[in-house]
């Protein structure tokens, strides 16, 4: 089944403890992206990647890191999480620009 897989689905952590949210797609998509979704603010892009080893900042990149060492994987790293990073996170992938995205099921992160 064609899909984007995120792990974990739920995560509660403490301020300052480094964490990684994994994202993997099995569709050979070139383009991958991370979003966060907050009530009243909608979907906001954190980082995106046009291809392997090519990443760029989205609208809200502060406090996040990404890497794209393989085409299928695009992990999101929070080096020192803070409570304002409590949110619902989505990974998405696409064949390329001008095409619809396939989204993962989401990771609900709580930072206390």
Partner 1 sequence: EDQVTQSPEALRLQEGESSSLNCSYTVSGLRGLFWYRQDPGKGPEFLYTLYSAGEEKEKERLKATLTKKESFLHITAPKPEDSATYLCAVQADSNYQLIWGAGTKLIIKP
Which residues sit at the interface with partner 1, rule CB under 8 A? Answer: 4, 31, 42-43, 45, 48, 50, 58-59, 88, 90, 92, 97-106, 108
Q: Which is nearer to partner 1, 73 or 101 (CB)?
A: 101
Helix (H, G, I), strand (E, B) or coil at 96: coil
Strand 19-25 versus strand 4-7 pairing type: antiparallel
Q: Residues 31-45, buried b or exposed e (16+ Cβ, 10 A)?
A: bbbbbbeeeeeeeeb
The residue with tokens 């409570």 is 83
Report the nearest approach of partner 1 to the CB of residue 56 (Å). Answer: 8
- Which is closer to partner 1, CB of 2 or CB of 14? 2
Q: How many residues belong to the chain?
A: 112
| Minimum distance of partner 1 from residue 104's CB (angstroms) | 5
Q: Which is nearer to partner 1, 15 or 75 (CB)?
A: 75
């Amino acid at each position: 089944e064609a899909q984007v897989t995120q792990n974990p689905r739920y995560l509660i952590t403490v301020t300052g403890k480094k964490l990684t949210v994994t994202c993997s797609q099995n569709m050979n998509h070139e383009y991958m992206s991370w979003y966060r979704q907050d009530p009243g603010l909608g979907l906001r892009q954190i980082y995106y990647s046009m291809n392997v080893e090519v990443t760029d900042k989205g609208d809200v990149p502060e406090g996040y890191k990404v890497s794209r060492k393989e085409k299928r994987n695009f992990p999101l790293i929070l080096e020192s999480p803070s409570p304002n990073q409590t949110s619902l996170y989505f990974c998405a992938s696409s064949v390329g620009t001008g095409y619809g995205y396939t989204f993962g099921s989401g990771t609900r992160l709580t930072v206390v």
